[in-house]
């Protein structure tokens, strides 16, 4: 296993739209286990392949308190959504910032696992929010896109400054 480098906003690679996964092979399973390791180490509750500069429709999450319910979603689709709720969101690609975002409260998801097996399940609360957030990454979208231009620009300039300091 290996830790992967996480891209930070406003890196333009985070705007890439991911392609469907078609090969369920050893290389894919290696990426899945590296993404879990990277997510747990960060630590975070979800990570999309886009964030580690791999532009395929794959995300991992674990919203359990015990950090013992890993879930890998490949080619995920939201087939039903209802209700809405507002929750503070953060993102490993936007370190240090938490802002309220409005999302569907309940969703029904169809996805494949790392062996290509398709299943459907329901999610609500934090898990539903996390899945919607990670699926946005696969479309090149970030939670800061839901904020006002003023807020987003402020976050962008602070992160750019931080990245320059690190590089210098």
Part in contact with Ni ion (CB under 5 A); list of ranges 15-23, 68-76, 85-93, 109-117:
85-93
Query: Between residues 74 and 91, which has the closer beta carbon with respect to Ni ion?
Result: 91
Least separation in angstroms between residue 115's CB and Ni ion is 25
CA 73 to chain centre: 11
- CA nearest neighbour of 112 among 46, 57, 50, 53: 57
Compute how many residues bind Ni ion; rule: CB under 5 A: 1
CB-CB neighbours of 42 under 10 Å: 13
Do the beta carbons of residue 81 and residue 106 sit within 8 Å?
yes
Query: Between residues 91 and 129, which has the closer beta carbon with respect to Ni ion?
Result: 91
Least separation in angstroms between residue 46's CB and Ni ion is 7
Query: Between residues 101 and 109, which has the closer beta carbon with respect to Ni ion?
Result: 101
Part in contact with Ni ion (CB under 5 A); list of ranges 8-16, 57-65, 86-94, 150-158:
86-94
Q: What is the dihedral of CA 64, 42, 37, 53, to 10 degrees?
A: 120
Q: Is 77 a catalytic residue?
A: no
Cα–Cα distances (Å) from 20 to 27, 69, 106, 166, in that order, read 15, 24, 24, 34
Do the beta carbons of residue 29 and residue 114 sit within 8 Å?
yes
The reply on whether position 18 binds Ni ion by CB under 5 A is no
Which one is catalytic: 37, 124, 134, 139? 134
Query: Between residues 21 and 142, which has the closer beta carbon with respect to Ni ion?
Result: 142
The reply on whether position 91 binds Ni ion by CB under 5 A is yes
Catalytic residues: 134
């Amino acid at each position: 296993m290996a830790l992967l480098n996480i891209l930070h906003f406003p890196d333009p690679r985070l705007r890439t739209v991911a392609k469907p996964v078609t090969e369920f092979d050893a290389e894919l399973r290696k990426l899945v286990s590296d993404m879990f390791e990277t997510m747990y180490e960060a630590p975070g509750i979800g990570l999309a392949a886009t964030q580690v500069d791999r532009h395929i429709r794959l995300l991992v999450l674990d919203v359990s308190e015990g950090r013992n319910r890993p879930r890998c979603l490949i080619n995920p689709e939201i087939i039903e959504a209802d209700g809405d709720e507002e929750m503070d969101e953060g993102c490993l690609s936007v370190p240090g910032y938490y802002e309220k975002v409005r999302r569907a409260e309940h969703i029904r998801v169809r996805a494949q696992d790392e062996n290509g097996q398709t299943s459907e399940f329901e999610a609500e609360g934090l898990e539903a929010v996390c899945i919607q957030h990670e699926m946005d990454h696969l479309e090149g979208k970030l939670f800061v896109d839901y904020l006002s231009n003023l807020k987003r620009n402020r976050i962008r300039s602070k992160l750019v400054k931080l990245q320059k300091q690190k590089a210098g």
